[in-house]
A and B are shown apart, each in its own frame.
Chain A
Amino acid sequence: MPRPVRFNVHPREADIHNNIAIAEMPAGLQGEGYFATSLERVVGLARKNSIWPLPFATSCCGIEFMATMGSHYDLSRFGSERMGFTPRQCDLIMVMGTIAKKMAPILRQVYLQMAEPRWVLAVGACASSGGIFDTYSVLQGIDQVIPVDVYVPGCPPRPEAILDGVLRIQELVHNESLRRRHSEHYKALLNSYGIE
């Protein structure tokens, strides 16, 4: 006997009227037919919702990241639809997993290949601090070789935590001053990592 198949012949009308998230309008002056705000806010808004992440996954946190990108957790909802597998086109590098000392120059090279502005998300205990691998062969946190914007704790973190990290990166992107990357402070930060 064939298995009975149920068809969804009476679909419920999707209630989209109050369920669509729309980015909030930046503060500014508005009136009949015009709206004025600062360029910085518009750029921040645009950048925030179209981050291209570059996954740099070396171990189990990368598996959690696959779940994060999957349909259930769906990182794409936040405007990060496209994973770029080239650093040159990406804004955000997500470092997930144990980085061995031999891997450190490669990670640094990938970071250098990214164009400014660029952000770094360290996912999991190993990328953030070396984790349980307190040993001669493992880098004790990627912030020894590249500057990190957001750390996600966990061993491994759940997909929700990774999403939270991405949202915090979005907050940083949203509120970042257009002048930040040219500031003395930022140059000093990069110089402390030996990056010109």
Chain B
Amino acid sequence: MELTNDYIRQRLEEKFGVDVSGFEQPYGLLTFETPKENNLKVMQFLFDDAELRFQFLTDLTAVHYPDQPGRELAVVYHLHNLVDNVRIRFKVFTAIEQPDVFTATSLYASANWMERETYDFFGVNFVGHPNLKRILNVDEMDYFPMRKEFPLEDQTRIDKDDEMFGRGGHIF
């Protein structure tokens, strides 16, 4: 039987009830969210189930939504069923004051470096991660550069004139 998005959704709702919500299918990719306490249970179910078999973690990252109080940070998981070639995506939201999310390293070894990267750029604290330290940025960095409160460019500098970079000024 073909593994359709509707079937995956039905199985998830049978198992977790109201704890899985916000289903949508942008560009055909099944997307939903779950409370952050629940992320490992959902992943374990998707991993172990004989039909679902989402045993490959393609990607793990975070998104910062500063205008959503209490759920500023979204951690996004992309899972892949290699047998049926089906992909799904789910998100957990956490408050930025206490960004604790359970680590997925015990289930997917590839989560190790991706969680370190997510910590590096967004400051998500993956509880239980074996080696949660910066991976790409310098160790001395004291902030999480992908959070929205840190502008990409230094706004106070005057030695880099916009005109030299083709921004602002005149367009001929």
Residues of A within 8 A of B (CB): 101-102, 129-130, 132, 134-137, 140
Contact = CB atoms under 8 A, between A and B. Distances in A.
Which 6 A-B pairs have CB atoms at the shortest separation, nearest pair first? A136-B145, A134-B153, A101-B138, A102-B138, A135-B152, A134-B160
Interface residues of B, number: 13
Most chain A CB within a 10 A radius of its CB, from B138, B141, B153: B138
B163 interface: no
A135 B159 contact: no
B152 A137 contact: no
B97 interface: no
A140 B145 CA distance: 16
B138 A132 contact: no
Given A129-B159, A136-B141, A137-B145, 8 more contacts: A102-B137, A130-B160, A135-B152, A136-B145, A136-B150, A136-B152, A137-B137, A140-B154
Interface secondary structure of B, over-half rule? loop
A137 B144 CA distance: 12
B160 A129 contact: yes
Contacts of B160: 129-130, 134
B117 to A, nearest CB: 13
A132 B167 CA distance: 11
Contacts of B153: 134-135
Nearest to B150: A136
Nearest to B154: A134
A132 B137 contact: no
Contacts of B154: 134, 140
24 contacts: A101-B137, A101-B138, A102-B137, A102-B138, A129-B159, A129-B160, A130-B160, A132-B165, A134-B152, A134-B153, A134-B154, A134-B157, A134-B160, A135-B152, A135-B153, A136-B137, A136-B141, A136-B145, A136-B150, A136-B152, A137-B136, A137-B137, A137-B145, A140-B154
Interface string B160-172: 1000010000000
Nearest to A139: B138
A124 B11 CA distance: 58
Most chain B CB within a 10 A radius of its CB, from A102, A129, A130, A134: A134
Nearest to A131: B160
